[in-house]
Amino acid sequence: MRISAVLLFAASVCFAQTQYDLLLQGGHVIDAKNKISAVRDVAIRDGKIAAVAEHIDPAQAFKVVNVHGLYVTPGLLDIHVHVYASTGDNEKGSYAGDLSVYPDGFTFRGGVTTVADAGCAGWRNFDDFKQHIIDRSKTRVLAFLNIVGAGMRGPKYENNLAEMEAKPSAEMALKHKGVIIGFKCAHYAGPEWTPVETAVEAGTIANIPVMVDFGTNFKERPMSELVTKKLRPGDIYTHCYSGLRNELDESGHVNPAMFEARKRGVIFDVGHGGGSFLWRVAVPAIKEGFPPDSISTDLHIGSMNAGMKDMLNVMSKFLVLGVSLDDVIAKSTWNPAREIHQDELGNLTVGAPADVAVLRLEKGDFGFTDTNGANLRGKEKLSCELTVRAGKVVYDLNGITRPDWKTLPKDYLQTGDSRWDAISPAPKKR
């Protein structure tokens, strides 16, 4: 090659557009859909997963982040949260109000990129929920629509059978396909089956699942009949370790109806919350072979400061119970994605949205408290190092994507680039 050709070649390499925006290098990828649990590089471009391989050329990436020793998973999906927050016109102490939290303040710091609100809004106030929360959040917010038209605004509404209507609920769900991903039936304090039956009717019209918080326990409508007869395959029983509705029978063993229901395809979800997770239920249940299908928090202003805390804390409880890390991740990513019929989420397939969590498995002596305040100690705990949402870094606990300040110019400005960074990207040049 003559010198001019060499120069030309060098210049073309220098100015070549890199193929990828962001490369997460050397982490242990856990991707249940693609049956990967191994060290892999993950490359991202234009907000999508672009490549997953044993080695991806770092020269092809605009930004390279070393994640050796960490776990790289799909962004976590928490399908039981309460995020219809406001201090607006609704009554004090309402989940459609001040008992909820704003999603972005709680999600990314725990590796969560998608949440499903569990019935704060019904068909009457869903538009308001969408306008004020869903459309304004960086977190992907989906919703189980409450079968109660007014949503989760207390007993006056939630115990009123006249407020539960299948037709307008199904119409609202069909209008917002892909955002309303199910119906919620919750908190009912009467002996009738009407709330469950109405929710299932709406779910059948809209072709989406129903999630049930079975409310007050009644002998007229036992949980065993709910899960073996009333719910359809694919419907979700949440709060499955609450112990409030005979999840353990009188002998202290898992209610046989739950095994029977699982066989016919009914889903069992954690929904930890402020009153729905007890060691005295979960420990024997796991021992007897009844792990959850999906792990979820039931996040609200009470649970987050009590035993629940956050998604990673609830996931860590299942590590303590002996569920493998691969399974715990599957139950927090790919399983819930399938349960809500959003198969493009919860996996790292090439072309999938680049929602990614980078987690650390800490070793030490940790305490985990249940909803009655009983503690269990464990030696492992998950924490979140980095969260990527739609291809951009939205949370970085220890600054693993950031340069040392001493290497920067004296008068340095924002150090990131909008190609990969949503935290402090440099302003776009005019």
Applying CB under 5 A, the residues found at the interface with Zn ion are 118, 298
In angstroms, how far is CA 357 from the centroid of its own chain?
Answer: 11
Left if phi > 0, otherwise alpha if psi is -120 to 50, otherwise beta: which for 190?
A: beta
Q: How far is the CB of 276 from Zn ion (least distance, A)?
A: 8
- Quote the least distance from Cβ 212 to Zn ion, whole Å: 11
CB nearer Zn ion, residue 188 or residue 395: 188
* Alpha-carbon span 253 to 231, nearest angstrom: 22
Nearer to Zn ion, 21 or 298 (CB): 298
Minimal distance in Å, beta carbon 320 to Zn ion? Answer: 23
Q: Decide whether 247 or 298 has the Cβ nearer to Zn ion.
A: 298
Q: State which residue, 111 or 215, has the beta carbon closest to Zn ion.
A: 215
CB of 321 to Zn ion, least distance (A): 22
> Is residue 15 left, alpha or beta, with left meaning phi > 0 and alpha meaning psi from -120 to 50?
alpha
In the complex, residue closest to Zn ion by CB: 298
What's the min distance (Å) between Cβ of 303 and Zn ion? 8
Residue nearer to Zn ion on the CB measure, 36 or 304? 304
Nearest distance, CB of residue 342 and Zn ion, angstroms: 19
| Residue nearer to Zn ion on the CB measure, 277 or 290 | 277
In the complex with Zn ion, which residue's Cβ is closer, 49 or 121? 121
- Nearest distance, CB of residue 300 and Zn ion, angstroms: 7
Tokens of residue 172, six digits: 């609202």
Residue nearer to Zn ion on the CB measure, 43 or 118: 118
In the complex with Zn ion, the residue whose CB is nearer, 148 or 422, is 148
**Beta carbons within 8 Å of 142's beta carbon, 6+ residues apart:** 114, 115, 116, 117, 178, 179, 180, 181, 340, 342
Angle at 424 between CA 420 and CA 428, to 5 degrees: 75
Residue 113 CA: distances (Å) to CA of 40, 314, 387: 21, 16, 8
Closest distance between Zn ion and the C-beta of residue 271, in Å? 6
Q: Which is nearer to Zn ion, 146 or 347 (CB)?
A: 146
CB of 110 to Zn ion, least distance (A): 17
CB of 187 to Zn ion, least distance (A): 9
